[in-house]
Amino acid sequence: MVREPAQGSTTTRPSHTDAGYPPRTGGPATFGQLLRAHRTQRGLSLTQLAALVHFNRGHVSKIETDKRPPSVSFAEACDRELDVGNTFTTIASALEAASRHQQGWIQPAQLPPAKKNFVGRRDHLTRLERLLPGDQHSLALPVALISGPPGVGKTALAVQAAHRAVNDGHFTDGQLFVNLQGPEPGTAAAPHDVLEDLLRAVGVPTDRIPTDLDQRAATFRSFLHGREILLVLDNAANAQQIYPLLPGSPGCAVIVTSRSRLPGLMSRVDATTLPLAELCQPEAAMLIRAIIGDTRADAGPSAVTVLAERCGHLPLALVLAAEHIVSHQHHSADTLATELKPEHARLNLAEGDIALRNAFDTSYRALDEQSARMFRLLGILPGHLIDATTTATPAGITHNEAARLLHSLASAHLIRSQDEHHYHMHILLRAYAADLARKLDTQPQPTKAIHPTAKPAATPTQPSLVA
């Protein structure tokens, strides 16, 4: 497939003379002239060069006649195919920098900091590393969707992958990061407002930002056209929220994180979905160790393992537990693991303004009434394998209705599908659902359906765990 890249500044003469440009007097003076000189020297026709660099002939011709500025990706292809080191890339970069300067382009660098203690996620990082730079033979925008339950590490993975891509030399025109505030209805950021922030972030003056949503989206796409920008859309509520924010150019890439699988997304973009589950046991223990330090961890390695298990290997719970140990001088992994033995006690893990329960609340409050009732019921049903047959009767609904509700809970990542008909619930989400059921469901459930160890209605509190 051939590419037809950006229109931009029409000058193709760089404004400075670094990297030996322009060449000695008498030689080619512009990018176009230099390209033609190298092409003819190799006996290549325009059509042949166009085929080699995977751009169309008309585009190459316009660049050769200095009617169109070369993009850096075009220059890279020329360097590679004509085997001239980084001759063309250097000139194209200088031209782009000069053009950006003229347009008032601000190079955004909005990524939050990466974490030193990042563990695991090797496969996900490898997939993102391949996906984000895009395929030079494709016109499609690379989009990755990282989805999973609250606190599983979606944002952490997106930020880590983004930093790695930048570190590898990609997205040199900038990186944008937006918190879309999903999934609770009412709190999700409106695309109209997000676009205003994004346009400002790339240097569009306020008086040039249109008021209409579609025009804002079009202006954003125009501004990004031909640039290599990474856009991280964190915590998306639904697919509709992100459509207007998507760049059009293949040189850009987008990482979306969401607690939902974002139904409908695939109809607009070819998104690659990366579902995220909790860490494996060694990684979970490694994360606790990295935060509490070797001395404390070595004092009770088996306690670290037990603690990691009691946190269900969920990164948010692991981080909160480890932080709790660090901030309470006399606490060890062992004492905290003992405190967290009762499942409901784990829900009170909190440090500073971050609380496990709040993270779960946000997902729960986004559920419709029927799904919320089914979710609470799952907290008190015995057995760990969930299916429509065993939930329909205690829920007082038909098999089909139960199957539909289970599917919607899986889509919100509040349960995980094991096969076509069966699901699992994470240990902490189960404790949370049971807690809600005790507080909210006054109607007694059928005796058989009640978990044998379910506690009477009460508000579980573990004050020592609350920051």
Q: From the list 117, 138, 453, 464, which residue makes contact with ligand ADP (rule: CB under 6 A)?
A: 117
Helix and strand element counts for the chain (H, E):
20, 9
- Minimum CB separation of residue 184 from ligand ADP in Å reads 13
Q: How many residues bind ligand ADP (CB under 6 A)?
A: 19
Question: Interaction with ligand ADP in 186-205: which residues (CB under 6 A)?
Answer: none
Question: Interaction with Mg ion in 141-160: which residues (CB under 5 A)?
Answer: 154-155
- Say whether 146 sits in a helix, a strand or coil: strand
Q: Residue 92 corresponds to which tokens in the numbers above?
A: 């194209």
Among Mg ion, ligand ADP, none, partner that 117 touches (CB below 5 to 8 angstroms by kind): ligand ADP
x-or-dash string of contact with ligand ADP, 397-426, rule CB under 6 A:
------------------------------
Please enumerate, as own/partner, the contacts of 103-108 that have beta carbons within 8 Å and a separation of 24 or more: 103/9, 103/203, 104/203, 104/205, 105/173, 105/202, 105/203, 105/223, 106/174, 106/201, 106/202, 106/203, 107/173, 107/174, 108/174, 108/175, 108/176, 108/201, 108/202, 108/229
Contacts of 299 (CB under 8 A, 6+ apart): 332, 333, 334
Q: From the list 49, 77, 111, 119, which residue makes contact with ligand ADP (rule: CB under 6 A)?
A: 119
Would you call 326 exposed, middle or buried from its count of C-beta atoms within 10 A (0-12, 13-18, 19+)?
middle
- Minimum CB separation of residue 167 from ligand ADP in Å reads 17
CA angle 75–78–79, rounded 5-degree value: 85
- Minimum CB separation of residue 155 from Mg ion in Å reads 3
x-or-dash string of contact with ligand ADP, 279-298, rule CB under 6 A:
--------x-----------
CB closer to Mg ion out of 219 and 238: 238
- Minimum CB separation of residue 181 from Mg ion in Å reads 10
- Minimum CB separation of residue 128 from ligand ADP in Å reads 13
Which among 85, 67, 93, 74 is positioned nearest to 4, based on CA atoms?
A: 74
Which region among 24-32, 152-160, 191-199, 366-374 touches ligand ADP (by CB under 6 A)? 152-160
Residue with tokens 């009691």: 310
Find out whether 314 and 321 touch, Cβ atoms under 8 Å: no
CB closer to ligand ADP out of 152 and 406: 152
Question: Interaction with ligand ADP in 13-42: which residues (CB under 6 A)?
Answer: none
- Minimum CB separation of residue 353 from Mg ion in Å reads 14
Find out whether 155 and 237 touch, Cβ atoms under 8 Å: no
x-or-dash string of contact with ligand ADP, 238-257, rule CB under 6 A:
-------------------x
Which among 198, 283, 267, 261 is positioned nearest to 232, based on CA atoms?
A: 198
93 binds Mg ion (CB under 5 A): no
Residue number closest to ligand ADP, CB atom: 153
153 binds ligand ADP (CB under 6 A): yes
Our measurement of the distance from residue 166's CA atom to the centroid of its chain's CA atoms, rounded to an integer in Å, reads 15
x-or-dash string of contact with ligand ADP, 303-332, rule CB under 6 A:
------------xx--x-------------
Count the alpha carbons within 13 Å of 157 in the hemisphere toward its beta carbon.
32
Q: How far apart are CA 146 and CA 330, in angstroms?
A: 38
Residue number closest to Mg ion, CB atom: 155
Q: How far apart are CA 304 and CA 297, in angstroms?
A: 7
Q: From the list 53, 152, 232, 322, which residue makes contact with ligand ADP (rule: CB under 6 A)?
A: 152
20 φψ region: left (φ > 0), alpha (ψ -120 to 50), beta (else): left
Question: Rounded to a whole number, what is the largest CA-CA distance in the chain?
Answer: 94
- Minimum CB separation of residue 306 from ligand ADP in Å reads 19
- Minimum CB separation of residue 311 from ligand ADP in Å reads 11
- Minimum CB separation of residue 247 from Mg ion in Å reads 22
- Beta sheet of 174-179, edge-to-edge order: 174-179, 229-236, 253-258, 143-147, 271-275
Binding-site ranges for ligand ADP (CB under 6 A) = 115, 117-121, 148, 150-156, 257, 287, 315-316, 319
Binding-site ranges for Mg ion (CB under 5 A) = 154-155
